[in-house]
Structure 1
Amino acid sequence: MANKSDFTAEEWKKLLESPLLAGFAVSAGDPSGFIGTLQEGFASAKALATAKSDPNADALIKAVVDDLLTPDGRAAARDGVKGVVDGAKVDEFKDRALVELRRTASILDSKAPNESKAFKDWLNHIANLVAEAGVEGGFLGFGGVKVTDAERATLAEISTALKA
């Protein structure tokens, strides 16, 4: 069973960033308005809370969530996401997040092969929750779609990046 001590500090930071980047990639792939962005953020937070309280959650996932709930863990993850967007144009955010998710997949495959699939599935789950968080298009909540074509495409790119 892999845990924090099995990873270098930089590798662990990539694992901490990954749940945020999975949701961020979807949001960047098809930016929403203010309300949509809030809904997407809440979806990511809910996924973390669910993993923390799930007695059957993978131990590595729980370790990452527990660390994300500390000030140092949050700061490391936030700094990682900030590093993805620093100096980038808005239309580059998604691609940069996908690069980092590929790095995370490689780390998981090499350092935690037994936990890799569960962790990647969890990241895909977070991305799906973010994509389904709000209704896009329509007027005053009528019409519109739950997941846009651009979000579907981004979900496929995330799955490919994670080799899931």
Structure 2
Amino acid sequence: MADKSTFTPEEWKLILESVMMAGIAVTAAEPSGLWGMLKESFASSSTLVKVKADTNANPLIKAIVDDFSTSEGRTTARDGLKAKLSGAKPIDMKTKGIETIREASAIVEAKAPHDAAAFKSWLYQISESVAEAAKEGGFLGIGGVPVSEAEKATLAEISTALKIA
């Protein structure tokens, strides 16, 4: 099974970035204010926690989550995101997020084909969790819709980028 050693340092950095970009792309599609962004951020983080507790998790996904548990892994992902997203507007963040997801998916398909389906499904689950985390269009959680049209469209783009549509 694949792990960090299966990939070059640049490929691994891109894979780590893709995990965060799966949520960022959805958040950027329909920014939902401070509370919504906090809920969406928590939803993304909670998917990592779930993997850590899952003894049957895919080994590649487990290796990714384990790397996020280290200062080095978090710094690698954060610095990569900062370089890609510095000064970007939400629409550009969404576009860059989807492109990062597409590139990471292709790398995993090429270097770890037996782990690719689980990895791609996991990235999509992160995106879905973020989309469903906060109501859109309401006021202080009143009214609105669970998943906005912009978020649904972004989920469709992510599905296409991951080739799971």
Superposition TM-score tier, normalisation by shorter sequence: over 0.9
User: How much has 1:141 moved relative to structure 2?
Assistant: 2.6
Equivalent residue number for residue 61 of structure 1:
61
1:63, 1:109 → 2: CA distance?
16
1:47, 1:123 → 2: CA distance?
10
Tell me, yes or no, if the aligned pair for 1:84 and 1:97 is still in contact at 8 Å: no
Equivalent residue number for residue 31 of structure 1:
31
Equivalent residue number for residue 133 of structure 2:
133
Tell me, yes or no, if the aligned pair for 2:32 and 2:136 is still in contact at 8 Å: yes
1:21 maps to a residue whose letter is M
Equivalent residue number for residue 44 of structure 1:
44
1:65 maps to a residue whose letter is V
2:98 maps to a residue whose letter is L
Task: Please state whether the residue corresponding to 1:125 is helix, strand or coil.
Answer: helix
Equivalent residue number for residue 11 of structure 1:
11
User: How much has 1:87 moved relative to structure 2?
Assistant: 4.1
Q: Which stretch of structure 1 is more off in the superposition, 57-66 or 12-21?
A: 12-21
TM-score (norm 2): 0.96
2:152, 2:4 → 1: CA distance?
32
Question: How many residues of Structure 1 are paired with residues of Structure 2 in the alignment?
Answer: 164
Equivalent residue number for residue 106 of structure 2:
106
**What is the RMSD computed on CA atoms of the aligned residues?**
1.0
TM-score (norm 1): 0.96
1:44 maps to a residue whose letter is S
Instruction: Return structure 1 stretches of 4+ with deviation > 3 angstroms.
Output: none
Tell me, yes or no, if the aligned pair for 1:16 and 1:77 is still in contact at 8 Å: yes
Give the alignment of 1:60-99 within 5 angstroms: 60-99=60-99
Q: Which runs of 5+ in 2 are unaligned?
A: none
Equivalent residue number for residue 155 of structure 1:
155
2:37, 2:88 → 1: CA distance?
19
Task: Please state whether the residue corresponding to 2:133 is helix, strand or coil.
Answer: coil
User: How much has 1:86 moved relative to structure 2?
Assistant: 2.1
User: How much has 1:15 moved relative to structure 2?
Assistant: 1.1
Tell me, yes or no, if the aligned pair for 1:11 and 1:107 is still in contact at 8 Å: yes
1:112 maps to a residue whose letter is A
User: How much has 1:4 moved relative to structure 2?
Assistant: 1.0
User: How much has 1:139 moved relative to structure 2?
Assistant: 3.2
Tell me, yes or no, if the aligned pair for 1:26 and 1:130 is still in contact at 8 Å: yes
2:5, 2:112 → 1: CA distance?
11
Task: Provide the identity percentage.
Answer: 54
